[in-house]
Structure 1
């Protein structure tokens, strides 16, 4: 995966960002530098990274474009079970 996991900044359209860098505080909060703007830092609403955001419109479109998911090029193998 290019870029880090997703973190929620706001519960509005585009409010979930992919982390470029994560900084965890002593009280368990996470400070995020998002891929879309590495000059800003925000405190994430979630304390656990999100592998896949729940709603498509929740993800920041700039973070999606800047850090696309890699495509799997491995062939799939099927097993025959009797």
Structure 2
């Protein structure tokens, strides 16, 4: 599974909140991508409200002090 613990910061949410939300929306819509060897998520068919709730959660978790975990940006 993809590393989601730091996805908000990797997608620039701290500087461009709307851009990170749109990236999340597009990425979720494209899953699974079918590209072999890539980390994939199943297609959850989330509603816009659920995607917004997920974005809120990822933004909130991005502010937690994780003692430098994960050890690298990709997890």
> Of the two, which has the highest radius of gyration?
1
Greater share of strand residues, 1 or 2? 1
Q: TM-score, normalised by structure 1?
A: 0.24
Q: TM-score, normalised by structure 2?
A: 0.25
